[in-house]
Structure 1
Amino acid sequence: MARSPVWASRPRTRGLVLDLIRAARTISRVELATATGLTGATISEVVRELIGDGLVVEAGRGLPTGGKPRTLVQLNPVARYSVGVQLERNACVIVVVDLAGRPVARTAFHGVASMPPERALPLVAAQVDALLTTAGVDRGKVLGVGLVSYGPQDRGAGVLLTPQPTEEWYDHPVAPRLAEILDLPVLLDNDAAAAAIGEYWLGAVDPDSTYGCIYMATGIGGGVVVAGEVYRGSTSNTAEIGHISVDVHGEECSCGNVGCLENYAGPSAVVRQAAQTPDLARRLALDPAGEDFLTEFARIAAAANAGDPQARELVERSARYLGHAAVTVATLFDLDLVVLAGPSFTVAGSIYQAVVQDQLDRRLFARRAHSVRVVPSVNGSDAAAIGGAVLVLQSELVRGRHDEARPVPTGAGGTP
């Protein structure tokens, strides 16, 4: 007998149902049928399969609605896990998350930037193995690794297209190599896009909204999510707001543009500006020759919060530049919300939030049609690493609803 279109697209249907269960926390089969437009029989069969696979469990009964109380279902968080690895210029953060996207283990270390990739990636793999062992996670339940970093990137091939932190990293097959070492699928993605989608998976934003994420670690990146989908553009190198020009007469950036936002508002720029303010540099014991910009920036941000006028002036100047970029992105994409994510917002987030909100309230083209709220990430400084793990969950479990690059399979040497 010929199979119906519903059964022919079973992976898509399973993904749709699983994502609705995830978003709702608990939901009945009747509610799933209403939300999807599928028949009750189809929903019952799909839910039965998901329960059989251990991905979903029954969670008691809902409140009476005049008839028999409906049985509720929810995700089984311990059914699957994924790993997120954020590869920064100065540091590496690794998290393990469960099926609901909640972190169950974390580690971080420095020194990756000073190593060539052939030394750094085995170190990262060893840290992943150790974290899974410490957390007691069954490796058979691990779907894969989300490796997130700065751009530009070729996500399909799993390579970085930037000579940072050193020339040796340019065009190096970071995802295939890490997959080979770990014997796990590895997905390469942009850190800002990962941070953005993590907000959606954890239910921190309206699932139907269009929102942007400004991600600031050592550099500045951005991501836009439309109804739960990362806006990818032609090569997934989108919303790179750190390389929006804010001064057409500015100095040339290493990216080839001139007057890039990152060179005025990024942590390294703020540290350089502070080093040129002798009193402030001396008070905060800044190292003019140092390259740990995250630590130096955190000192300046802490001083700004404590009321130091010179530190406050530098941070607020950075925030005004960032607000300018937020207005640009919000105007281009007609955003509902802007999320501030990344370790550089950990200390000075309240200053940036207030300044960026003020810029949007006063300057946004569509401000008379609707407001745009600025909020901190629910995932804090680990937003990119958690988002990387979430991208693996989304890619593996909600397949058929996304045009995401598939994770590079173990042992792969090119586009999957």
Structure 2
Amino acid sequence: MATRSGRRPRTRGMVLDRIRAARTISRIELAASSGVTPATITQVVRELMAHELVVEVGRGASTGGKPRTMLQLNPRARYAVGVLFERNTCVVVIVDLTGRQVARTSFPGTTLLPPEEALAQVAARVEALLGTAGVERDRVLGVGLVTYGPQDRRAGVLLTHQPTGAWFGYPVAPRLSELLDLPVLLDNDAAAAAIGEHWLGAARSDTFGCIYMASGIGGGVVLDGQVYRGSSSNGVEIGHITVDLDGGPCDCGNHGCLANYADPTAVIRQAVATPSLGRRLELDPDDPDVMTGFGRIAAAAGAGDPAARALIERSARLLGTAAVTLASLFDLDLIVLAGPSLTVAGPIYRPVVEEEVRRRTFARRAHPVRVITSVSGSDAAAIGGAVLVLQSELAVLELDAPARA
């Protein structure tokens, strides 16, 4: 999803984002907060209004002179699609220009399907949801496809042999774009969840960390309102920090990784090794449906089963190590817990992670570190994928087309 260079597109994008963040704002306030001249703001707003992206919504309170005309995004002017492509589940959401979710569907993951067949299913679900929601295709900016890494974000290619070797090097974004005839942006699920939280206001901060857990563990960090990506857009892979120097090898090439001890697959493996628990919950370590098995353990833990509770709390303490690492590396004062697994077991994870952070964070005497759960729950990454599309300059690039009547 390449964008065109030039000051005007960047200014348009900045103005759209400031109007979105403020919800309602005047032209004078836009100029004051952005440092852009009032004349330029007036011209940019005129262009945005001509293309129905921005509307006037009445007058603000008078400050002694003429009341200011307030501006707001037109939610129905454009839409974006977000797709969470996970081993065990797929979630498709549609959001309007403000980031508000207007439609959603989910279906079992495509773990063992070849890429072509799996993406055809995803494309069919996206088409069906657009039809059900009554969203006109010419108002859809694009699709944010978010999944695990490592990945080549710019090329839209996965660089992992998971869930099968057929996916390594497969151009998932270009192929889905062909199937849907829409631009497709590939991104990391944890990074998407983090930027989605920032847009939707749960974090109430321009700098925070996000720990994301579905079938695996990932991380994201937002710094001054921008997601941190690293040199290859595979930054903050918190699931692959070492928590056991003498631990066994991980598929990533490291040893003793956090994921090997704390992610849902590891918790299921530990539960199966506890014979009474594994039999009681009918767990199968070879079942590719990791989320269902983990959900059973989390439900048992929530119901007071001591063996299940011990496993979930151990995973939570290890996740607390990840949170401490994030907070210490980036001097954070906020950690958001997101993703399907942390939605299912969040009531257990959050207080345990919070206690680890409270006791062990390097800067705890300088400032506290809060731990909160995502407002988007299990849809955080899918919504974030759609938000990443909105955040791109696709919206402003369309301004070269004639305005709709």
TM-score by length of 1: 0.92
Moved more, 33-42 or 117-126: 33-42
- Whole-Å separation in 2 of the counterparts to 1:385 and 1:68: 43
Q: 1:350 to 1:206 in 2, by over 3 A?
A: same
Match of 1:205 among 198, 203, 214: 203
Query: What's 1:371 paired with?
Result: 368
Do structure 1's residue 284 and structure 2's residue 244 form an aligned pair?
no
The residue aligned with 1:162 is: 160
CA distance in 1, matches of 2:6, 2:157: 34
Secondary structure at 1:223's aligned position in 2? strand
- Retained in 2: the 8 A contact 1:12–1:398? no
> How large is the RMSD of aligned CA atoms in angstroms?
1.5
Residue type at the aligned position of 1:334: D
In structure 1, distance between residues paired with 2:130 and 2:356: 44
Q: Which residue of 2 aligns with 1:48?
A: 46
Q: Does 1:141 align with 2:139?
A: yes
CA shift, 1:204, in A, is: 2.2
2:191: which partner in 1?
193
Q: Identify the residue that residue 255 of structure 2 maps to in structure 1.
A: 258
CA 344–8 in structure 1, closer or farther in 2 if over 3 Å, else same: closer
How far apart are the structure 1 equivalents of 2:396 and 2:185? 14
Structure 2 residue 386 is matched with structure 1 residue 389 = yes
SS at match of 2:58: strand
From 268, 293, 300, the equivalent of 1:271 is 268
Q: Does residue 281 of structure 2 align to residue 320 of structure 1?
A: no
Deviation of the 1:392 alpha carbon: 0.7
2:171 paired residue number? 173
* 1:344 alignment partner, SS class: helix
* SS in structure 2 of the partner of residue 238 of structure 1: coil
Match of 2:401 in 1: none
Contact 2:111/2:288, CA 8 A, preserved across alignment: no
User: Any idea what the Cα deviations from partners look like across 1:143-178, whole Å, max 9, x if unmatched?
Assistant: 011111000000111100000100000000111111
Q: Distance in 2 between matches of 1:399 and 1:351?
A: 44
Q: Deviations over 1:96-141 (max 9, x none)?
A: 1111111111111114111010111111111111110111000000
Please state how far the C-alpha of 1:68 moved relative to its aligned partner: 2.3
Q: Residues 353 and 374 of structure 1 are in contact (CA less than 8 Å); yes or no, is this contact kept in structure 2?
A: yes
Greater shift in the superposed pair: 318-327 or 197-206: 197-206
Task: Give distance in 2, aligned partners of 1:202 and 1:80.
Answer: 17
Q: How much does 1:385 deviate?
A: 0.6
SS of equivalent to 2:43? helix
Gaps of 5+ in 1: 1-6, 401-416
2:340 to 328, 331, 343: 343
Post-superposition CA distance 1:28-58 (Å, at most 9, x none)? 1111111012222222221111111111111
Shift of 1:301: 0.8
Query: CA–CA distance in 2 between the matches of 1:398 and 1:249?
Result: 50
Task: Report the 3-state secondary structure (helix = DSSP H, G, I; strand = E; otherwise coil) of the residue aligned with 1:234.
Answer: coil
- Native 8 Å contact 1:210 1:335 kept in 2: yes
Q: Hey, what does 1:309 align to over in structure 2?
A: 306
Distance in 1 between residues matched to 2:50 and 2:319, nearest whole Å: 49
Q: What is the CA distance between 1:73 and its match in structure 2?
A: 0.7
> How far apart in 1 are the matches of 2:247 and 2:12?
51
Query: Deviations for 1:188-237, whole angstroms, at most 9, x for unmatched residues?
Result: 00000000000111122335x32111000000000111111111111011
CA-CA distance at 1:277 after TM superposition: 1.3
Q: Measure the CA separation in 1 of the matches of 2:145 and 2:278.
A: 35
Aligned residues: 393
**Do 2:59 and 2:67's aligned partners in 1 also have CA atoms closer than 8 Å?**
yes
- Corresponding residue number in structure 2 for 1:411: none
Give the corresponding residue for 1:236.
233
* AA partner of residue 45 (structure 1): Q
1:359 match: secondary structure: helix
Q: Amino acid of the residue matched to residue 324 of structure 1?
A: T
Name which of 197, 214, 217 aligns with 2:214: 217
After TM superposition, give the deviation of residue 269 of structure 1 in Å.
0.6
The amino acid of 1:126's aligned partner reads A
Q: Where does residue 353 of structure 2 map in the other structure?
A: 356
Question: Within 1, Cα distance between the matches of 2:349 and 2:68?
Answer: 46
- Unaligned 5+ residue runs, structure 2? 398-405
Q: CA offset at residue 399 of structure 1? A: 7.3
